[in-house]
Structure 1
Amino acid sequence: MSSFQIIVGSMLGGTEYVAEACEQQLLALGHQVELHLPPVFEQINRNNQTWLICTSTHGAGDYPDNFQQFAADLENNDQDLSSVKTLVIGTGDTSYDTFCKAAKNIEKLLLSKGCNKILPLKTIDMSQDIDPEEVAANWIEENSDHL
């Protein structure tokens, strides 16, 4: 099975719950999982890993406070990240024009650093989805063949 690093950006805790639901689903599927909250770039394994980024968007499309340093360190990194596979879950509220902008931005940054996207960006509308944790866990289950 695969080894996952779940990297979490969350301001109010909702995205943390989504990440924990993904963690439980991945463990149930037999994967190795390490959860990073707050994420510290230097402490996250890069060697043949899958990075699952779960992040909300704050303010005018910004990264959550606990995620800003990770994103800055990733941007300033010059190591080869081509062995890292990525998938991104963004949480937000569709009533804002910056819906999941942080997730979209981190996905672009990961790709610019050589990471390999294995699934399209998953967005979750926290104002509409009754159980966002279930939505995320189901998404993991539905795509388990790609993981």
Structure 2
Amino acid sequence: MTERTGRCLCGAVSFKLVTEPLATRICWCRDCQHLAANGSVNLLVPTDGLSFSGELAEYTKTADSGDEVTRQFCPKCGTHLFAKSSNRPAFRVVRAGNLDEPSSVQPNMNIWTVSAPRWACLDPALERVERQPIPPK
């Protein structure tokens, strides 16, 4: 198991992962595209494997999956850090780009590919799922 750390752009929020990601996915849903101006690489981790320090602001919206998704971000610099779903409280989503060592993870799947723009660079070696994949157990 590798411990991973990360932070927001201004450093006001920092976090630690003490568990391996259950999945590392490139998400092409329209919400992630709005947040990242592209697909976003997200780690799915057990909720109890994530700790953080600093204040978080939140925004909740109904996602394409139908779940209520609460996105958490730094109120100072606006960096989107985490997300949690109303239907999956045992999991948290962590934005891989905020890791101190983002190369320590490797995406294994493209999700919501039905929403990807025609110009999206989808690695042919990665599994593609048109919408929401089945959650890991």
Do the structures match in fold with TM over 0.5?
A: no
Structure with the higher strand share, 1 or 2: 2
Structure with the higher helix share, 1 or 2: 1
Under a length normalisation based on structure 2, what TM-score does the superposition of the two structures give? Answer: 0.29
Under a length normalisation based on structure 1, what TM-score does the superposition of the two structures give? Answer: 0.28
